[in-house]
Structure 1
């Protein structure tokens, strides 16, 4: 950024005074943050321009990654790390009386994502740039993101996420590249030059304005682009209420995942999805035509990747552009489309496989619906020709059926690649959820096990551990995560293991201070920090965790001789605003915490902490401090998980089911370095298919279960009346869909083993080291290289 510290300091002082119109001595921390951010962005601009010029000059094939969310976290320090100037800048600022950490606190977490889907997209962008691959992201510039979570009297309360209040120093508005998106209206057909041509008329038009953010590779000259679209009014229609039109328009890019309980919310979500893909494809096609001209060879120079089903409308939108604007015939347009678009599936949950009611879809997107209808008719005709008369099979596979447009079906039919995100997940897709499609298109299906941007989760989030690793095995691991395997040479080195323990202890102390500030609760840092942080969903089974805590509390109250290794159970999670059951689980966790943490009998033996407003910057303090990583989803339900990988690389030991990427973690570290329990995916799927599970039987046969379940409704928690009946009913009346009671005994047993294992500190550190050493496999660099080679056919451009 600057050749030396003195040059940086002089330039920084001058820039502060120029930007803020005041003397340096009068400038504020906010002035310093804005100035440093602008200096970094300007510094990377040369590489940003040069990167794009390299792509143009080489005519390299490029990938465009479409995702409804990107969970970026804070970028200030990460960009400095990637540029290799963090230490120099931190020292220079310190000599000016400024703490880099204080400036970082002023940066908001970007409100562009929520969970694993968005964090994966952010990790992939990081790895694309860090491995010099030509790949860019497209998303929506949400004004408020999902929501800011507050916990009030144990309940989740949602407030708008004001992340753009002071602007976004990393973005550049590109108003000259704005495009128009039509909604509603009607489609008119006319004969032109002997062919039928369709025009979308009388539409309500929205303007999509791009805001570009640089994606800086680690110690690389590559700077790729994340393009975020902002919805703004186009020309105001004469026959409508201008204020209503403005509100409808701006709502498109206001919130991530608006509540779709009612039709109004469904319309807004579908609008968001078409807004994203139409704006992105118009932009991609415009750039392509400038370089290559005809769209005939689009698929040879461009790959458009859809991250889950939210951007699936890219398929009919690309068909619309090729048919209506480029004037291709159907077969040629379909050939180009199905060789341009690839699709990642992220779920085995049937309720998460999106489908849109035709009565909403058709009037909102009339031309797109016509194209989807034509795709469906041609696809069903192919099925009929293959197996005449099998109406039931055709109905199950159809893209439009029972009054719904099925987005996953459209994604599979209209793409050339369909991948799962962990080996078990992909096998479940092939053998169960999407078996008929796998039988139709076996060549399309492949696996790409997820990975994480490991440099953020070590270099940024855990600098002490990073330094220890570099001192021990050298710095090659920062470019090649596989080199972490060399740590295995030190598993019997007591000096190294002692240093590892000291790093963990310091990280736990830092988290304990955050817990104290946020909750007022003092926690014992010598206790096990047992952590479950992730989106709140029934299948992730935060309920199993809290029921085990209730059981431990009961033991302590009933048996004065009961002894347990001290534990601090830490939760953080947001529940979707419309997810009533998940919100009840949050209330239960906080109610249990209130009871346990205020009981003098318990003391420091057991604490329960719920940290509000889970986000990347909070996660960066939690993962390095964790001793135990809770990955306890019902087997077969978690597609992959990436939190499990972030815990692993920071030395936490996994307690989990054989679900998602836990299967691959287990294979890498072996039985002795992971704590497994519960039903397997095969057993769960057998119960779903053949029945035979009776939750009431487990309730009656296990006194521990009966006691805990009864406490949900028998007044055990003072001042809480009928609050937890929905949870009680889900376990007994609804036969415990996620096998919480079935796995309870196994979970309790393995938790006792964890407590015993923790008392042998040397052995625990060895287990921790083995996990860190094997975590290199879960680098998103590895995942991205697999996508590049096996799906996208792109190559590094240096």
Structure 2
């Protein structure tokens, strides 16, 4: 090795010219994949290309982390149960400026980069907006050169792969790691013990202090897997560390020797199930326990890792909040608050007052929901059994907190009950959102409306008690993934007009505003959209064998299937359009393709029934020649990040129709508007802020406001009266209830009708129907004038700079984390 020349090595192996890339690919193909060009299949070439791209990240990655140690930089640790990072190859190629030469090198090898990219599996590390936001946050942290690490679980299987059979959602295993993952680095030397069960022993230390030791129980090992997260056109490459569960003992040798192999490996199987599949629906007690185990598993490993890193260059725990910030992405990681207290008290022997001060100054909490059923709570009995020391600590946190509340409000027993960390009614439960609020120094909502409702309604008592703790940080999306990568046609048009600085500074998009009135730019903008629509039409034909017209209006609703997101309201509108076209051939409406996509939680029967109704309605529309060429309904299965990247560039109309006051923010609304889709939406979540910035005239607003909904409920809302007073709506609901769309099973949708008419229509579907149809008519009028539509679409893209995740992360960095880029 004495003759090793690193500069020569970099030129020969890590060069970026097409010839260098070819050499690297061929070397990886032979020496890593074990194939030669004659036997290699397409996936082998994908793996080789992924490895050589990763190679070019590694030195930046290592130098990034060396600089953090060298400068003693304060770091943020982002704890999230989900990270929907999607595919990594194209993102990395674009971020390090490597794509064009790669494309040329592959072309010389007779390969097509676009085709290879399509073979990569999405990283199945989440199931919705929570995970997509976390991925955007990590991208922006790196792009802004901030010191940050993400922590989560390396799920072997994702939520599930969705298939549609006879119109029904079918859940299939989503084994995204089956072909290996070239983007991760296993770290078998980074392993931490995580304990469950056992008991707490109390003893007196030599200094006379009372101490606690958590002993016995079962141990699981958490092993680290690292994934580099590159920033865009920067030297910073941060780390996403995911934990995989390993058994503390591989098998019971005695049982094995006795021939009972199943029992010999039983403990190993149970332990490793912790990271086997994305956290399950927790309505059964078994799934509830697994979900809590998963949360504590990744939290415990992450905090042990964070403290180990802190203690490498620090010795005084009083400095901990000055060196690290920990962000809780929703309540899933909230158990980390008593876990850090346990470590500081039991392992490092700090006094309670000091440990609590350190803990609250270290943690901050992002709330993502207003729905009571989505605010996590854990049975006290379950916590006492699985995490007995944590339950003791939670009781003590609650005791001290309520003493303070009592001191300020001595005679208000109901206030104590409302603010307690322990819910007493219906069996004792720990309110994890209350724990997260009390244990954090900042609590943020994710849109202006959401944050206001948190402060005025959901957590009003806490806001009054901690007036400076609650802030708003509106969500954002990364323009790298959701415009530059997902929509290269539009990206090239934008860069040709204003330069490419917008990719890193989305505020530059405002320079497009004068071009909204430029007829030539309008035409080019429409042509870019038409090309994306044609591409999506080709994909739908290839994967689904369904023909859609790229010259029709692409009307899109893509999101998790949930009653509050109101796919049901969209279905009513689609049926109304179908009836109007059937009964009036001269009905003046643009030809339309309605595209829906999204997964339902496996145990969510109403959502699954909605999916089936969507597909039944699609079948009726498809079979009716009266609407051929005028109306099409398509449900695209297995919605994920890559599917979103296919659909969003082609969308012209974005359906953001949740019940006002129920969507925390939304990020799909931002992605669609950024790509030039006009929004039809309620005044909910970030829709309000989008409307303010793009202009009310470029946004189709409908529906009751959150305040109007509360008032209507107080006064007594009668959905049956709405049904009886609107003949079209009544007819549609009768058709659904009487089996028009399910003649082989006429009562299939009785539950849906019953919920709408007889169980209060909780999500105000019928209440908003008339306003929704009026908004649709306004949209049609604008769409007929393609110049006016193009102007509105351009202004949507031009005015989306506020919704860059870079702005979101910069606000976190300044208002919450107090971190800056290190001086290298």
Do the structures match in fold with TM over 0.5?
A: yes
Question: 374, 378, 384: which is aligned to 1:362?
Answer: 384
Number of the residue aligned with 2:239: 225
Partner of 2:722: 698
Name 2:8's counterpart in structure 1: none
Identify the match of residue 772 of structure 1 among 781, 784, 797. 797
Maintained 8 Å contact 1:185/1:200: yes
Give unmatched runs, 5+ long, in structure 2: 1-13, 256-262
Q: Hey, what does 2:46 align to over in structure 1?
A: 33
Shift of 1:28: 2.0
Query: Does residue 386 of the first structure (1) align with residue 408 of the second (2)?
Result: yes
Alignment check: 8 A CA contact 2:158 2:174 kept: yes
Distance 1:731 1:36 in 2: 53
Question: What is the DSSP-based 3-state SS (H/G/I as helix, E as strand, rest coil) of the residue aligned with 2:338?
Answer: helix
What's the RMSD between the two structures over aligned residues?
1.3
2:320 pairs, out of 280, 291, 298, with 298
User: Secondary structure, in 3 states, of the residue corresponding to 2:510?
Assistant: helix
Structure 1: runs of 5 or more not aligned: none
In the aligned structure 1, how far is the partner of 2:128 from the partner of 2:35?
Answer: 41
Superposed, 1:205-354 pairs within 5 Å as: 205-235=219-249, 241-354=263-376
CA apart distance, 1:401: 2.2
**Deviation string for 1:359-390 (max 9, x for gaps)?**
21111111111111111111111111111132
Q: Taking structure 2 as the reference length, what is the TM-score of the superposition? A: 0.95
Deviations 1:439-494 (A, max 9, x none): 00011000000000111111111111111111101111122100000001211211
1:623-656 deviation line (CA, Å, top 9, x unaligned): 0000100000001110000000100110000000
In the alignment, does 2:228 pair up with 1:203?
no
Q: How far apart in 2 are the matches of 1:220 and 1:368?
A: 42
Matches within 5 A, 1:632-651: 632-651=657-676
- Note if contact 2:251-2:265 (Cα within 8 Å) is conserved in structure 1: no
Corresponding residue to 1:118 among 131, 136, 154: 131
Q: Which range is displaced more, 227-236 or 6-15?
A: 6-15
1:54 matches 2:78:
no
The equivalent position to 2:165 in structure 1, one of 149, 152, 172, is 152
Q: Give CA-to-partner distance per residue, 1:527-578, whole Å, 9 cap, x none.
A: 1100000011100000000111111112223334323211100000100011
Q: Structure 1 residues 104, 742: CA separation in 2 closer, same or farther (over 3 Å shift)?
A: same
The aligned residue for residue 394 of structure 2 is 372
Which range is displaced more, 292-301 or 493-502? 292-301
- Aligned counterparts of 1:616 and 1:604: Cα–Cα separation in 2: 30
3-state SS of 1:93 partner: helix
1:326-352 deviations in Å (ceiling 9; x for gaps): 100100000000000000000111111
What SS class does the counterpart of residue 275 from structure 2 fall into?
A: coil
Distance in 1 (alpha carbons) for counterparts of 2:381 and 2:45? 53
Where 1:639 maps in the other structure, the secondary structure is: coil
C-alpha distance in structure 2 between counterparts of 1:573 and 1:300, whole Å: 42
Work out whether residues 640 and 659 of structure 1, in 8 Å CA contact, stay in contact via their aligned partners in 2: yes
Partner of 1:405, secondary structure, is strand
CA offsets per residue over residues 185-230 of structure 1, 9 Å max, x none?
Answer: 1111111211222111221100000000000000000010000000
* TM-superposed deviation, 1:685: 2.5
1:679 aligns with 2:679: no
Q: Which residue of 2 aligns with 1:90?
A: 103
> Conserved in 1, the CA contact under 8 Å of 2:16 and 2:98?
no
Aligned to 1:660: 685
TM-score calculated relative to the size of structure 1: 0.98
Q: Which moved further from structure 2: 172-181 or 30-39?
A: 30-39
CA contact (8 A) 1:636 1:685 kept: no
Match of 2:583 among 558, 561, 567: 558
Give the drift of 1:38. Answer: 1.3
Q: Output the CA distance in 2 between the equivalents of 1:374 and 1:401.
A: 15
1:462 corresponds to? 487
Q: How does 1:175-194 map to 2 (within 5 A)?
A: 175-193=188-206, 194=208
8 Å CA contact retained: 1:295, 1:326? no
1:653-700 per-position Cα deviation (integer Å, ceiling 9, x unaligned): 000001111101111111211100010111123234x24211010011
Comparing 194-203 with 539-548, which one deviates more in the overlay? Answer: 194-203
Residue equivalent to 1:416: 441
1:733 Cα shift? 1.1
